[in-house]
Structure formats: C-alpha cells, structure tokens
Structure 1
C-alpha cells in the first residue's frame, strides 16, 4: 500500500516523515509546493531517499494538483501532511480515497481563525468577540480601552500576530502585512487571499493539548503549559513549555480539556490529530485560542514520545487507516522545552550552550551562520528538550525556566573602517581572521554552508558581516562581493585558490579609476 505525503516547499522534515510512513508499512509519494529554488534540492533529496516526488507549479499546492497526484498513485491508502495550509486538500484527497478524516468544510472553519471564532462565539463557547480589521466597530472598541489580538485569518508561526492597545498598533501591523512577503519567503502563501482580523484578548496562563481523535473520542491527550510567552515585535513568541503543567491546577486542566473537546465537537473535528491552545483567565475559566489540525510544532512530538513512548504521527496514521489507536500508558517522565529566538534584524554568527544548565535530551539548531531573524513571526534559532522526574518536575522546571540554554552570537556589523575581505574561508583563512587587527572590519563572502569548526569559532567574534554568494562562477559574484563592503576601502583579500578569479576581479575594480 502507498500513501501521499504533502509537504511545504521542500520541507527538511520530509526525510523523517518518509521514514515514519515506511515504518508503518506504507510507501510514500511526496508532493511538495514549489520551493524557492524551483525544487532542485528537494528532488535531489527525494532521489537520495529513493522516494517518488512531485513538485507543484506554485507556492501553494492546489486541489487539482493533489487530486491528479492521488489518481496517479496505485493502492493509495491515505494522504497526510504536517502543514496547516495543506490540511484541507489532504482531507479532500482522503475523501476520495475513503480514509478516515474530517470533511474539508470542517477544516476550513477551523483554519480560518475568523470563522472559527465566529462559530464558537455564536454557540457560547467563546467570549472573545471576532471582528474584521476593516470593521469601524473595532476602532471604536480599541479607543474605548479594550485590548484585541490582531492576526491573519489564515497563518502560522505567529505571522503578524500582535496584541494591540491603540489604533496605531493596528496600523503598524497592517503596514507590515501589506508589504507582503520577501524574496523566497516560506510564508508567501499567507499573503495571498487573506486579511488581518481581530478578536478580544484573553489574559491568562496558556495550555495546549496534543489530541488524537477517533470517531469523536480522544484516544490521546497530552498537556503542555507555556511557561514563557512574549508579545514583542508584532508577534507572539512561545519560549518555554512544561509537560505536565506546573502552574495550572488539576481542576483547571480538566476544565480546559473539556472546553477543547466541546470546541472540536462543535466544529466537526471528530477524526485526526490536533494541537489545541487555550488560555485560563484569573477566574479559572478556559478560552480556546486556536485549533491547529496537525501535530504541534518545535519539539512537541519528541516531548510526547519521551513521556509516553509513542508517536503522534503513528497514531494519526492509525486513525487514517481505520486501525484502533493503542491506549495510553502511564506517563513515565516529565519534559521541559526551551525555544530560542535570535534578536530581530541582527545577523547570527553562532549559537553557544549555557554550561550551567544540564545537557538536554534533544537539541537542534534551525539556523546557520549568516541568518538574520525576520520580524513579525516566530523565527526559530534552536530548541532544547529535557526530561524530568515526575516527583521533582516542578522544581526542575523552575531551575530551567530561570536561565536560557541557547546563547546567540552576532556579527559586529560594519563601522566604516577598511575591510579585510575573506572569500570562501578555509581553516587557514579563519586563523588569519582571528588574528586580524582591530582597525579593519571583516567581511566574509561564502558559497558553501559555514561549518562551526574550531577555527571558525576562534574567528567568529571578529566577523563584521557574512554574505552568501550564490555561485563563484556567477557573473553577479563580483557585484555581490563589492556591495557587501558598503563602499569601504578593501585593505586585503584572503581566500583559497578556488576564488582567485573573483579576488583578481575585486583587485582590478579597486585599481580602476573612479
């Protein structure tokens, strides 16, 4: 039997998902929305995995493309995705295949945050009034002192989500959203056929549930409390999660789980995997914030695996295939997760680990040297997950909450000094950069991914700017190198022989009359 795996823009998660599906006894066919490079790297990755792949024509997979792919797969049992934006077309495919999924209409109401809020508000399951940003009532209420959260109707990773207290806050978010996506932006599809909306703000402690539903019953339900939550730079950053909860009572947790189930029932979400977020106000009353019809992000899957020795994706596949979901075993440990976000607008040169904290069970870095964090969204830098003893869980979490495990290092920036230019540094070049005098700014231009070798780490703090060059053979390589120096004079050029042509071009440009 086969299965259709839908991924967004050649997602790096593809390899892991292919492995999971194969271990469940199905051979995947992968359909990806169009990656920034047109699919070259994605196709090469799939060739290495020996898996059949298809690339869509645009940055969003269309219903027609999904249906055409499904009809071309012999003995296809189900479709699956981890991406919100592909969840509706996944359900359309599963409707054709006869897999156990919810209706596309139910998902449209869950994924459209305005329709979801409106439905829950009408049924008395939410107290947060939904309004469109264009509605004059919103401005009247904000100017009367009410607080609202503004967000896109469809969105992920806290894209353009902000707590607004004044109308100028709303206008600032509108301006960012109307600028649209940047070049190669992974969020590009959320700037099309979409709009900003608003809903009342519920202040309180936040909890989420990872839920596997089958025939309207919760077969799996795992709680995580968000211990650190920041509203900043036009987004919301979830920086710490504890499981089990540490600041929420058993009664409050039961009430939140009950409200989550009521909301899913009301929206017709009776089969599948859901990440449900709620806030509990000062009176102990829970309020649904969002319902995401897929596995929670970051290291949530790992957290559930470590606590219960089970895979949410495996469970979801069992639901889709019509197989019984295994009952939950007792929790064997707790977990604490830290999510690290670099400072917006600053170029990252590396990530260090806090030696005063214990080594995590799971650790991963999401960005490479040279990355610059974008505003108005979650821009993950790294995440870490620890296991805890259930008997001392609260104390261990308190210790981990108090300090950051990931410590970002940033490029110095250019100051107008003469530039020491390094092209595709090797070990000897990094050693020379480490010994560079303070009267120069160091600019590093590279084509290959920079590896955090010992030589690089020794030179890292001297870097003023890192610049990625698409190819040294490109006719644009010289212009990229010269532009990277911001017009400052170039004192010297370092680099291996593979870049000598560009180095000579730079020297010639330096000697040419103005």
Structure 2
C-alpha cells in the first residue's frame, strides 16, 4: 500500500501498525517535513517503511504521486491501493486508486466535497439543508451584518476549525484579510486552502453537534459510530471541540433514526458510493442539518473511540478493510458488509454496541511549555496522547494547537452518570504549566 503523508505525519504510525498486522509492504510518499523535523523525522520513517519517497516541497503534487507509482512498478512492487488521512491529499489518493483499479470516489468528487459553499447550496437546492450560504466580500459582509440574522463564517476550502467562527456586528473585513494573509504562511495547513483562503457566510445552525463515522460500500451506508461533541468552545477566530462522547448523550432513538435517514439522503444527493467519511451535523430539535462532509477518518481520537466500541476495529482499520474489500466482487466484500451491519447503527436508531467512550482534547496557548504530564488524581485513561513537551514554544495561530488528548471507556449502561463525572474530572487530567504565556 502507498501512504501519502503530509510533512512526515498524518497517522503514519497507526497506518504502519495496521499494514504490518496484515503482513503488507508499506510505501510512503511524504511532502517535505518542516525544517525542525529534518532529518530526524525522515530517518524515523525510513527505519520502518519498505520504501520512502520525499517530495521537493511541503505540499505533494499530482505528478509526484504518478511518478512514485511508476517507480514502484519499475522496482517490481505490486501496489494494491493508496490511502491518505490528510484531507488536502484526498483527491491525490483518489487519483492513485483510479489508476490502480481500486474502487474509491473520483478525484473530482474529492475536490468537490472540499468546496463547502457548493456542497451547502447543492443540499439546500435539494431540500436537505435549511441554510443559505454566501461567498464573502467586503460589501456582502456589510450587507449580512445589516439584515439582523445570525451567521457563521468559515473558509470555503478549509480544514479542522481553522478561521471558523460566528459573525458578530463588529466583525471587520480587515480581520478576514489578516486571517487570509496569516494562512499563506501556515506551512502545515496551507495545502488545505485550495488557491488561498476564501471565506463564506452561512446561516448559523443552532443545536448540539454530532459526527457520523461512516463507511460507504457500493452505495450502502454503514454508520459505525455516532459521536456527540459534548463540549464546544467558540472563540473569536475558531471553534474548539473540547470533548466528545459516543453513544450520543442528548439524542433519543427516534432522533437518531431521523438522523440516519437524513444522512442517507445527503449521501445520495452527493452521489457518493464508496469511501470513509467523518460527517459533522447539528440537530436543531426540529431537523438535522449539515456542518460538513470530510472524506476521511475523523481527527483527534475518533478512530480510537471507534476501536473501543466496535469490537477492536478502529475507523482507520475499517477504512483499510474497505479498500481491500472493494477489490473483491464476491465473498470478501459481502462478509465485510455483514460485519459493518453487526458493528454499527441500524436504521431504527439502535445499535448492539455495549461500550461508551469519552475523550477530551487539550489545546495549547501561545507561550513556552514548562511541563505536560498526566495528573495522578484522575482516573487512568484508556488512551493517552501527549503531543508536546517541556520547552516547546507555541506560536499564536488562527487554528487550534493540539497539546494532548485522553480517552476513557466504560460500560454503556453507566453512560449518563459516568459522562458527567469524566467531563468534570478530565478538565484537570493533564498537568500543564508554562514558563511564559502569550507574545
């Protein structure tokens, strides 16, 4: 399998473990890592990858993917399929799979899904979204601020919650221009902004936010998990997703069933038949509406959370299984479809899952870290990821900077009480101290 890596990362170690478990050879094509990670990160990858290729810039190009596949073929390697967890390379993954004869979305579909303005208006025209969206300019911003409605601003082509925030009466076009200029120098995220950061505004969608962890197999929709964004913080320039839980805590069976039916209609409207999706939506207490469709696994600990509730099958593992099953028109594909039916949610809003999860993400503030360590007083998490260390300097960004993340599992029967307890206790589960704060 060929992995497309962004700047030397993008779930590489997780993918390595999954491929080695399947006794498959692992080829990596990475864009050039950031200067502070050269040469150490490339040496790390080279120590376990069967072949490593590195692009000449911080963003991979289509021709580099084509050339790498050709070099592998000339070296006698048999590449089965391609995967990339980095959303900015999803169309390149689709391009590679098309050339390899593996079922996937078309490269054009991958690019179209990333245009949030077009997706919104397509669904609205089909009656599947109650929201209107507008490409922003200085005059449009001024006109929307005068009409008295509540709007949300976000990039037309974006990633995570970068530069996504509610519009306020004092939101200035100069602020958006400053974000646009800052995005051009954000080496890691720049590849996700198409030809540069452009903004849209859409009607604000009230209600709780959820995500459907979804696999599409020959047009069949399989929702493996439904996460509720339990705590969300809206700041002046972004939205931070502080904690998530599955199963959803504030939905009843009928509301989940309605969400699943709506989701099927959305995916049908978008003509999607294959792939792995992290689909974010809100329930307004009256109807479901889309936040965005991400053609990849969810970030943070979504994949690990799925592993906890789906009999040890992470979302990343299931995506790999989907790619391999798609190459078989017979028993392998049928068996995988049955497995997904057993693991996931049913049309009536029920599931056989008996485990619940709660995970919290910890975000860094601008400054210099003195220490980051697990607090002994908190209940031991099932998964611990501490991503930064003492001495790391965190610059000011218009995006979240992940410091760490912790996940707890517990019986589903204990969900309401345990959820409240973990929400309270987990806030201080990491001891985080700074030498200096802010710049």
The equivalent residue for 1:299 is 301
The equivalent residue for 2:267 is 264
* Secondary structure, counterpart of 2:364 in structure 1: coil
Q: Which stretch has the larger CA shift, 190-199 or 56-65?
A: 190-199
The equivalent residue for 2:247 is 244
Alpha-carbon deviation of 1:90?
A: 0.6
Moved segments of 4+, more than 4 Å:
none
Distance of aligned partners of 1:190 and 1:374 in 2 relative to their CA distance in 1, 3 Å threshold:
farther
| Aligned equivalents of 1:289, 1:191: Cα separation in 2 | 18
Alpha-carbon deviation of 1:139?
A: 2.6
Residues 16-46 of structure 1, C-alpha deviations (whole Å, 9 max, x = no match): 3122123234212111112112852343112
1:286 paired with 2:297, answer no
Q: Which stretch has the larger CA shift, 206-215 or 253-262?
A: 253-262
Distance of aligned partners of 1:216 and 1:182 in 2 relative to their CA distance in 1, 3 Å threshold:
same
Verify the 8 A CA contact 1:102 1:271 in the aligned structure 2. Answer: yes
| Aligned equivalents of 2:121, 2:414: Cα separation in 1 | 42
The equivalent residue for 2:66 is 67
The equivalent residue for 1:406 is 430
- Out of 197, 222, 225, the residue aligned to residue 222 of structure 1 is 225
The equivalent residue for 2:371 is 350
The equivalent residue for 2:26 is 28
By relative contact order (CA 8 Å, sep 6+), the higher-ranking structure is: 2
Alpha-carbon deviation of 1:352?
A: 4.1
Verify the 8 A CA contact 2:157 2:194 in the aligned structure 1. Answer: no
The equivalent residue for 1:179 is 182
The equivalent residue for 2:410 is 388
Alpha-carbon deviation of 1:50?
A: 4.3
* Secondary structure, counterpart of 1:149 in structure 2: strand
Q: How does 1:161-176 map to 2 (within 5 A)?
A: 161-166=164-169, 168-176=171-179
Verify the 8 A CA contact 2:308 2:314 in the aligned structure 1. Answer: no
Q: Which stretch has the larger CA shift, 189-198 or 393-402?
A: 189-198
| Aligned equivalents of 2:276, 2:69: Cα separation in 1 | 21
Verify the 8 A CA contact 1:102 1:268 in the aligned structure 2. Answer: no
The equivalent residue for 1:51 is 50
Alpha-carbon deviation of 1:157?
A: 2.4
The number of residues matched between the two structures is: 410
Q: Which stretch has the larger CA shift, 61-70 or 42-51?
A: 42-51
1:320 paired with 2:323, answer yes
Alpha-carbon deviation of 1:412?
A: 4.1
The equivalent residue for 2:79 is 76
Alpha-carbon deviation of 1:120?
A: 1.2
Verify the 8 A CA contact 2:246 2:356 in the aligned structure 1. Answer: yes
| Aligned equivalents of 1:28, 1:352: Cα separation in 2 | 33
| Aligned equivalents of 2:86, 2:357: Cα separation in 1 | 25
* Secondary structure, counterpart of 1:225 in structure 2: strand
| Aligned equivalents of 1:164, 1:170: Cα separation in 2 | 11
Alpha-carbon deviation of 1:13?
A: 2.9
- TM-score, normalized by length of structure 2? 0.88
| Aligned equivalents of 1:97, 1:313: Cα separation in 2 | 20
1:377 paired with 2:399, answer yes
| Aligned equivalents of 2:436, 2:168: Cα separation in 1 | 35
- Out of 145, 151, 164, the residue aligned to residue 154 of structure 2 is 151
The equivalent residue for 1:437 is none
Distance of aligned partners of 1:188 and 1:302 in 2 relative to their CA distance in 1, 3 Å threshold:
same
Q: Which stretch has the larger CA shift, 85-94 or 311-320?
A: 311-320
1:255 paired with 2:258, answer yes
Structure 2: runs of 5 or more not aligned: 327-331, 344-351
Alpha-carbon deviation of 1:232?
A: 0.8
| Aligned equivalents of 1:166, 1:276: Cα separation in 2 | 30
The equivalent residue for 1:98 is 101
- Aligned CA RMSD, in angstroms, stands at 2.2
Alpha-carbon deviation of 1:284?
A: 2.9
Q: Which has the larger radius of gyration?
A: 1
- Out of 15, 18, 38, the residue aligned to residue 16 of structure 2 is 18
| Aligned equivalents of 2:174, 2:101: Cα separation in 1 | 46
Verify the 8 A CA contact 1:177 1:191 in the aligned structure 2. Answer: no
Verify the 8 A CA contact 2:205 2:289 in the aligned structure 1. Answer: yes
Residues 331-357 of structure 1, C-alpha deviations (whole Å, 9 max, x = no match): 1310001111123x2322222444443
| Aligned equivalents of 2:41, 2:193: Cα separation in 1 | 24
Q: Which stretch has the larger CA shift, 17-26 or 218-227?
A: 17-26
